[in-house]
Amino acid sequence: MSSTAMKKKVLLMGKSGSGKTSMRSIIFANYIARDTRRLGATIDVEHSHVRFLGNLVLNLWDCGGQDTFMENYFTSQRDNIFRNVEVLIYIFDVESRELEKDMHYYQSCLEAILQNSPDAKVFCLVHKMDLVQEDQRDLIFKEREEDLKRLSRPLACTCFRTSIWDETLYKAWSSIVYQLIPNVQQLETNLRNFAQIIEADEVLLFERATFLVISHYQCKEQRDAHRFEKISNIIKQFKLSCSKLAASFQSMEVRNSNFAAFIDVFTSNTYVMVIMSDPSIPSAATLINIRNARKHFEKLERVDGPKHSLHMRMR
């Protein structure tokens, strides 16, 4: 497969109103302008042009809109849409009253995937779970998961339950990203070694576009279980502010008497965050360490087979 082949896609599909635009906006920190909140079904696919995991392009599709026009367009463009798909993320609205219809559209998407991109990974998100009462959530999700797994055969689908109002969305997407990184176990081992060498309290590896945590190492228990999501939110807000000045965020150092934190570009797909609790270690030392590690991790990524086409980008 040549490296200039068509870009691999991440398809984000689901019924109109299931929450795709909000989800994409939150995960990828895209500003939602008022007019793009369309009042009807999306007639055209929304290309995000987001470099996700290096080279993947995010496509957003409305599935099962009211229009028969929509359906015709969908069927005629089917091959086009479903070719070269790396990941299919399908969103179900847990409150939907038309379960049969939803499953029907889902199955037709799966058929198309089987025909055009049989190697694609399929993820199903049961979304808007905050609208279900807390004590019923597990039950309802288990039901849906069973149905979906059954319907998806022979493809294997991974199901998550999500809501934009709790930590499940961030965790689900982190898991998705984790599964998409080809050599993630190796990355983790090396990350641990790196952290122990530089005597860091914690080292995190973020995906570049979304600041989803791919992997992390901590040498002792941390108090805040939600710190990954919070850091991700803070940095995404900062990126939004930077983009207003037509600047792009590259790195950051935060320091006080108790700790020093370094956020920097790492490999072509990732950012690293290093937390040092010994303030006596000078910044320059840590920064040198990070720079040296960078070369090592880039080599790791390059090692992987061409089929994952994670291109290296020249600095």
Partner 1 sequence: MKSKNITLFFLTSFRPFHVEPNNIIDDGPQEKISAEAAVLNSRLHYYSRLMGSSDRLLSPPDHVIPQPDDIYIYSPLGTAFKVPGSDHPAKNPSIITIFAVWNTMMGTSILSMPWGIKQAGFTLGVFIVIFIGLLMLYCCYTVLKSPKSISHIDTSDWEFPDVCQYYFGKVGQWSSLMFSMVSLIGAMVVYWVLMSNFLFNTGQFIYNHAHNISEADSEFETNGSEKVICPNLDPGRNETISTLYLSDYRNTSDVSSFEQYWSKTDTVPFYLIILLLPLLCFRSASFFARFTFLGTISVVYLIVLVTVKAAHLGFHLEFHWFDKTQFYVPEFRSLFPQLTGVLTLAFFIHNCIITLMKNNKNQENNVRDLSVAYLLVGLTYLYVGVLIFAAFPSPPLFKDCIQPNFLDNFPSSDIMVFVARTFLLFQMITVYPLLGYLVRVQIMGHIFGNHYPSFFHILALNIVIIGAGVLMARFYPNIGSIIRFSGAICGLALVFVFPALIHMISLRQQGKLSVVSAIFHSFLIILGVANLVAQFFM
Amino acid present at 154: P
Give burial (CB, 10 Å; 0-12/13-18/19+) of 69: exposed
Structure tokens at 4: 């200039």
- Binding status of residue 287 toward partner 1 by CB under 8 A: yes
Among 234, 300, 303, 312, indicate the residue that binds partner 1 (CB under 8 A). 234
| Residue 281 engages partner 1 in binding (rule: CB under 8 A) | no
- Considering only 118, 136, 165, 302, the residue that binds partner 1 (CB under 8 A) is 165
Contact set for partner 1, span 166-185 (CB under 8 A): 166-167
Using rule CB under 8 A, residue 103 touches partner 1: no
Q: Which one, of 123, 12, 19, lies nearest residue 61 by Cα?
A: 12
122's tokens: 């399929």
Q: Does 33 bind partner 1 (CB under 8 A)?
A: yes
Q: Are 59 and 48 in contact (CB under 8 A)?
A: yes
> Residue 210 — φ and ψ, nearest 5°?
-115, -10
CB nearer to partner 1: pick between 91 and 110: 91
What is the DSSP code (8-state) at residue 15?
A: -
Kindly state the smallest distance separating residue 70's Cβ from partner 1, in Å: 22
Per-residue tokens: 184? 């993630």
CB of 284 to partner 1, least distance (A): 7
Region binding partner 1 by CB under 8 A among candidate stretches 86-94, 190-198, 244-252, 306-314? 244-252
Cβ at position 25, least distance to partner 1 in Å: 5
Name residue, tokens 């929450």.
Answer: 19
Q: How far is the CB of 32 from partner 1 (least distance, A)?
A: 5
**Dihedral sign, CA of 234, 160, 175, 133?**
positive
Q: Which stretch binds partner 1 (CB under 8 A): 40-48, 52-60, 186-194, 246-254?
A: 246-254
Q: Does 46 contact partner 1 by CB under 8 A?
A: no
Binding mask 115-154 for partner 1 (x = CB under 8 A): ---------------xx-----------------------
Backbone φ, ψ for residue 54 (5° rounding): 90, -80
8 to 56, 210, 263, 275, 307: CA distances (angstroms): 5, 18, 28, 34, 10
Query: Given the rule CB under 8 A, which residues bind partner 1?
Result: 22, 25-26, 29-34, 37, 130-131, 164-167, 223-226, 229-230, 233-234, 236-237, 240-241, 250-255, 264, 283-284, 287-288
